[in-house]
């Protein structure tokens, strides 16, 4: 699963740069926000991919990734097509990101010396 998180990090990083650039030049706030979330979570996924021996941290990274896809995907669809990804996609993605971060925190606490 760590390789999957690292691959997603690379994809999120590339998409984040592209979305931020297009959002900035086209004055599309939703697209720029999606880019920011993709970039922030790309860095987090790189770090989490290093926790190969901590299944809870890897699960947290996967939940984060799904949340970011829903949240950023919804914002990008609204910016480019004027339609949501599906109803409540952004809130569902936000909840997913919150849960993912809570899993990461739990993984760190459980592994504390």
User: What are the residue ranges spanned by the domains of the chain?
Assistant: 2-110
Q: Which residue has the higher pLDDT, 25 or 48?
A: 48
Contact between 38 and 72 (Cβ < 8 Å): yes
Predicted confidence at residue 111, as pLDDT, reads: 65
For CA atoms 102, 103, 107, 108, the dihedral sign is: negative
pLDDT for the residue numbered 29: 86
User: How does the average pLDDT of the chain come out, rounded?
Assistant: 92
What is the DSSP-derived secondary structure letter of residue 50? T
Q: How far apart are CA 68 and CA 98, in angstroms?
A: 10
**What pLDDT score was predicted for residue 113?**
52
The predicted model gives 84-109 an average pLDDT of 95
Q: What's the CA gap between 30 and 19, in Å, rounded?
A: 9
Q: What is the pLDDT of residue 98?
A: 96
Separation CA 84–CA 13 (nearest Å): 22
């Amino acid at each position: 699963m760590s390789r999957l998180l690292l691959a997603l990090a690379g994809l999120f990083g590339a998409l984040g740069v592209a979305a931020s650039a297009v959002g900035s030049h086209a004055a599309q706030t939703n697209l720029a926000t999606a880019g920011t979330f993709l970039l922030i979570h790309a860095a987090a996924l790189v770090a989490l991919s290093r926790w190969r021996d901590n299944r809870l941290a890897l699960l947290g990274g996967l939940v984060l990734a799904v949340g970011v896809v829903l949240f950023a995907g919804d914002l990008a669809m609204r910016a480019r097509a004027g339609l949501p990804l599906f109803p409540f996609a952004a809130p569902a993605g936000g909840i997913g990101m919150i849960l993912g971060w809570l899993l990461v925190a739990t993984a760190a606490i459980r592994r504390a010396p």
